[in-house]
Structure 1
Amino acid sequence: MSKRKYSPDYIKYGFIAIEHRGELLPQCVVCMKTLANAAMKPSLLKRHLETNHASNKDRDASYFQRLGENVKRQRLDKTGTIYQRKRGIVKASYEVFLLVAKNMKAHTIAESLIMPAAKILVRQVIGEEAVAKLDSVALSNNTVKNRIEEMSVDIADQVIAGVKSSKFGFSIQLDESTDVTNCCQLLVYVRFTQDHSVKTELLMSQDLPSTTRGKDIFNIVNDFFRLNKLDWGKLFGCTTDGAPSMLGRKSGFTAHVKAVAPHTVIVHCFIHRFALCAKVLPPNMLSCLQRVIKIVNFVKSSALNTRLFKRLCEDLSSDHTYLLYYTEVRWLSRGNATRRLFELRDELLQFCKEKNHDFQTDLESEEFILRLAYLADIFEVLNNFNLWLQGPNRTVT
């Protein structure tokens, strides 16, 4: 049996719509009585008005419209005015908290900066009477923390549900690394099919409190799989770096994966391979790179040299005013440091002459400059390819 739909014209008979158990029912704005869906006919609604409220049968639609607004304000369900207002307040707070999380700002910024700024904007643009409405939006530190956690849990649930429903199984990519606080972090990304498309999402992020052996990493991933009821049998691909804890034939992570999922294809991360290739340089190129590091450290390690070199670059109207440190663990650092030094080679030569330093000999050598240019070009190509491979929907093929 088809359900009848409410028409805005029914307000002239004194009826508005109310949702009950998934269907719309007509509700009288005079007696607040709710009729069946089958009664949502103009003739039946008119009969109710003339029979039960004869004194109001000649009223115009605006009269029933005002009564209808009062009825909506009294409702406590989803169609009520109170619910709609609270729903808008909660939605606004979640959207603000999402911005805080995306921009990685302190949770206190919502209460200390965003709310005062919003009140100033509303007061100047809309008026003082609208400012009071913002007081009902909760932006405290604890509220921001709790709702960001709720959003993260909801996102994690969506990802896990997508992995479980993936028709063709899923693959994972993981890597462990130690951050600046000496805390070892394990990141696991998952790629699966959903809605006729391939999706790549962060599956889990976990601290490694003690050792980082292959067995330790596998136990953490296995506990996550068991907790969320993920099937190792649906795993068809696993990508890792080349560390022994990952690729060890007997005790590495991949060996434990093969024990529970023998059909899984193990792949060495393509980006890691390029990072390893860049470390294996011919002796003449390696000596050039080591000399570049010493030149950068000579300028950057001294606050006085840094200020003087910056002043020199400003006087010469250079495109850059400072050098970049070389950091071993950052893949892009090698290319950025050599490229910046190559672009500032003339300024560095003049600076070393003023300082009477032996780096002047290197910067005047045509052979050294040619090797530096070669390294800068090669590392730049590797960096661009590295960045191109990263991001959603990127594959080697």
Structure 2
Amino acid sequence: MPKRKYDPAYIKYGFIAIEHGGEALPQCVVCMKSLSNAAMKPSLLKRHLETNHADKKDRDQSYFQRLGENVKRQRMDKTGQIYQKGAGIVKASYEVSLLVAKNMKAHTIAESLIMPAAKILVSHVIGEEAVAKLESVFVSNNTVQRRIEMSVYIADQVVEGVKSSKYGFAIQLNESMDITNCSQLLVYVRFTQSNAAKTELLLSQDLSSTTTGKDIFNVLDNFFKQNELDWGKLVGCTTDGAPSMLGRKSGFQAHVKAVAPNATAVHCFIHRFALCAKVLPPKLLSCLNRVIRIVNFVKTSALNTLLFKLLCEDFGSDHICLLYHTEVRWLSRGNTMRRLFELRDVLLVSFKEKEHDFQNDLEDEEFISRLAYLSDIFGALNHLNLWFQGPDCTVTEFISKLEAFVRKLDLWMKYVESKRYGMFELLTTLEREPTDEFA
């Protein structure tokens, strides 16, 4: 039997709607009684009013509307205004705490700075009446600390989700050095929950000693034992291509195969792509190395950095500094090359004043052409790299995007053969025609 729907016109009989068990029920605003869904008929609602509240049957509709608003405010479920107001207050408190944690500020900043600033803004823009509503948002030092520490419970929820995953789980590992030369191990897990795939951070831990495959496996194995996770439910393991990870005898994947023989070992798609992008022809590699030397010359000296900044400001440039190239950061090549290309005129003036050898590079048309080409091609590769990142990405999507990029490269090759370079944004800005060395 189809469920009856509530009509706002039923308020004239003294009834509003209330959700229960996934269906709408009529609720009397006078006696608070809820009827069945089958009673959602004007005749039955009118009978209830005339039989049980005969003294109210001649009241106008506005009277029942006022009673209905009072009933809604008194409800304690999700439809009630008290619940909605309280939920909004708690949500605001959590989001402020998250903002404090993301910016790595002291817990007291919410109470001493954020809340006073919010009150000043609200009082001048909205009005003093709205300021009183902010008083109910809890952002004290202890509250913010407690909100942040609840991340421990989130980790427990992830572990419980992995345990209850119906189809097992897969992990992805990455071990890398941070800026303090400390080795960091990150482990992400993908599992199914409520018939949906979820990807969460499972483990983040420092590796205090060596970073061999055995060391990495021991760290993860101890975590599995402490949280009672079953290696037998592991269906896939993704790592980079380092020998410590993929070694057949002593690599991490070899140790995983010993405890989870059915798990599939996969070489990280993005790592493999980054390795392929490192292969450059000698002339382009020489240009890249020269660019790195120019950036290091400016950035490693505080005086050079300051003078270059002032010169950029005098030229009215969009940027006031160069960017370092870092091997472990895959996007840095394109960003570094493009920034130097955009500031090449400022650099040329700076090197002319100092009579430095880098002046010859920036006056060389071949060097500038290679710089523009590398900026464009690395920009395209960076765009592809970012396509491969983000939540809920799958190997199927990776392959589809990669195949599309390969087809684009084939098209670019045909364009280059016919002396068309429109797909290279920076290269086409140069006055001279590009040489054939980029074909």
For this structure pair, what is the TM-score category when the shorter chain's length is used for normalisation? 0.7 to 0.9
Q: 1:151 to 1:42 in 2, by over 3 A?
A: farther
Measure, in 1, the Cα distance between the counterparts of 2:11 and 2:366.
89
Contact residue 94 and residue 147 of structure 1 kept, 8 A: yes
Residue type of the partner of 1:267? V
Q: Which secondary structure does the structure 1 equivalent of 2:88 belong to?
A: helix
Q: 1:155 to 1:44 in 2, by over 3 A?
A: farther
Counterpart residue number, 2:413? none
Following superposition, the deviation at residue 300 of structure 1 comes to 2.3
Checking the alignment, whether the CA contact within 8 Å between 2:123 and 2:130 is kept in structure 1 is yes
CA distance in 1, matches of 2:156, 2:189: 12
Q: 1:214 to 1:125 in 2, by over 3 A?
A: same
CA distance in structure 2 between the partners assigned to 1:220 and 1:149 by the alignment:
23
**8 A Cα contact 2:351 2:358, kept in partner:** yes
Quick one: distance in 1 between partners of 2:70 and 2:380? 68
Task: Work out the percentage of aligned pairs sharing the same amino acid.
Answer: 70
Report the aligned-residue RMSD. 4.6
- In the alignment, residue 398 of structure 2 is paired with which amino acid? T
CA deviation map 1:310-354 (0-9, x unaligned): 444555566654333333433333443344445545544443343
Shift of 1:175: 0.4
Q: 1:67 to 1:259 in 2, by over 3 A?
A: same
Separation of aligned partners in 2, 1:299 and 1:313: 13
Instruction: Provide closer, same or farther for how the CA distance between residues 354 and 251 of structure 1 changes in structure 2, counting only shifts above 3 A.
Output: same
3-state SS, counterpart of residue 395 of structure 1: helix
Letter of the 2:298 partner, please give it: V
CA-to-partner distance for each residue in 1:12-70, whole Å, 9 max, x for gaps? Answer: 4555566677776666555x463653777666665665555544443334334444444
Q: Distance in 2 between matches of 1:17 and 1:374?
A: 66
Aligned to 2:409: none
Structure 2 residue matching 1:34: 3-state secondary structure: coil
**After superposition, what is the alpha-carbon deviation per residue over 1:74-119, rounded to whole angstroms, capped at 9, x for unaligned?**
5555555433432333344445556x27964646565455544544
1:390 aligns to 2:365 (yes or no): no
Corresponding residue number in structure 1 for 2:185:
186
Q: Which amino acid aligns with 1:187?
A: L
SS of the counterpart of 1:136?
coil
Q: Do the aligned partners of residues 209 and 34 (structure 1) sit closer, same or farther apart at CA in structure 2, a change above 3 Å counting?
A: same
Number of the residue aligned with 1:259: 258
- Indicate if the aligned counterparts of 1:238 and 1:266 stay in contact, CA closer than 8 A: yes
Maintained 8 Å contact 2:6/2:26: yes
Return closer, same or farther for 1:314/1:88 CA change in 2, 3 Å cut-off: closer
Q: Which whole-Å CA distance do the structure 1 matches of 2:178 and 2:287 have between them?
A: 29
1:210 aligns with 2:208: yes
Alignment partner of 1:201 out of 174, 193, 199: 199
Deviation, structure 1 residue 395: 0.9
CA distance in 2 between counterparts of 1:81 and 1:379 reads: 54
1:171/1:235 contact within 8 Å kept = yes
Pairwise CA distance, 1:255: 0.8
Q: Distance in 2 between matches of 1:363 and 1:115?
A: 52
2:249 aligned with 1:246: no
What TM-score, normalized by structure 2, do the two folds share?
A: 0.67
Aligned partner letter, 1:178 = M
Matches within 5 A, 1:1-397: 8=8, 11-14=11-14, 29-30=29-30, 32=31, 34=33, 37=36, 49-50=49-50, 53-74=53-74, 76=76, 80-94=80-94, 100=99, 104=103, 106=105, 110-112=110-112, 114-124=114-124, 126-147=126-147, 150=150, 157=157, 161=161, 165=165, 171-191=170-190, 201-211=199-209, 212-222=211-221, 232-233=231-232, 235-276=234-275, 289-315=288-314, 320-342=319-341, 344-345=343-344, 347-360=346-359, 379-380=378-379, 382-392=381-391, 393=393, 394-397=397-400
Alpha-carbon spacing, 1:36–1:269, altered in 2? closer, same or farther (3 Å): closer
1:275-300 residue CA offsets vs partner (Å, 9 max, x unmatched): 44566767776666555444333322
- Structure 1 stretch displaced more, 251-260 or 270-279: 270-279
Distance 1:247 1:311 in 2: 49
Amino acid at match of 1:208: D
How far 1:177 sits from its partner (Å)? 1.5
8 Å CA contact retained: 2:158, 2:200: no
Mapped contact 2:49–2:57 kept (Cα < 8 A): yes
**Shift in alpha-carbon separation, 1:56–1:151, aligned structure 2, 3 A:** farther
Distance 2:312 2:125 in 1: 46
Gaps of 5+ in 2: 401-439
Query: What is the aligned residue count?
Result: 393
